[in-house]
């Protein structure tokens, strides 16, 4: 059976998406030696297709990473506001402040990792570190 350009294009798409030669051979009803021959013959097209496949994945990851950073930023802001509210209301003795402060510091550290910054400085967190210095040991 003669393979068409459409068959070759399908092979390139399947291979670029990461399928093994065995799976492609089974799906296309083509021998593995033929696929290996095509891989050599159309190496440039395969490289290009794999590049674009990787770019697509990286683009999706960037969107997911941006979403994570946004959620972490919003969570940190809410945590800082809640901690400030509790501190100003004088309710520190009624609640596990150390746990809330730990959450804020954990979110801040995670946000630093996500953004690649060495240290993000939030005026609220600096003020809270100072304010709670006497209550909780903060590194």
81 and 113 part of one domain: yes
- Tell me: the pLDDT tens digits for 3-19? 788 988 999 999 988 89
76 and 110 part of one domain: yes
Q: Is residue 98 part of a domain?
A: yes
Residue 18 is part of which domain span? Answer: 5-41
Phi, psi of 115 (to 5 degrees): -90, -10
58 contacts 27 by C-beta, under 8 angstroms: no
126 and 70 part of one domain: yes
Residue 55, token pair as written in the block: 């770019």
122 and 87 part of one domain: yes
Q: Is residue 49 part of a domain?
A: no
Is the entire prediction scored with pTM above 0.75?
no
Beta strands in 1-139 (DSSP E): none
Report the alpha-carbon distance of residue 15 to residue 23 in Å, rounded: 10
- Tell me: the pLDDT tens digits for 33-66? 999 999 999 999 998 988 888 888 777 777 777 8
pLDDT of residue 132: 52
Q: Which residue has the higher pLDDT, 128 or 23?
A: 23
Total residue count of the chain as it appears in this document: 139
* Number of domains, the chain: 2
């Amino acid at each position: 059976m003669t393979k068409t350009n459409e068959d070759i294009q399908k092979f390139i798409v399947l291979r670029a998406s990461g399928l093994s030669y065995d799976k492609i051979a089974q799906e296309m009803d083509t021998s593995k030696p033929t696929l290996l021959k095509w891989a050599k013959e159309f190496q440039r097209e395969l490289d290009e297709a794999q590049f674009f496949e990787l770019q697509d994945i990286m683009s999706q990851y960037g969107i997911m990473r941006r979403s994570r950073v946004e959620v972490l930023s919003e969570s940190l802001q809410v945590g800082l506001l809640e901690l400030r509210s509790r501190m100003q209301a004088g309710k520190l003795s009624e609640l596990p402040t150390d746990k809330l402060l730990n959450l804020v510091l954990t979110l801040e550290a995670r946000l630093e990792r996500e953004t690649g910054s060495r240290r993000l400085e939030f005026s609220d967190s600096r003020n809270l570190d100072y304010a709670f210095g006497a209550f909780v040991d903060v590194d």
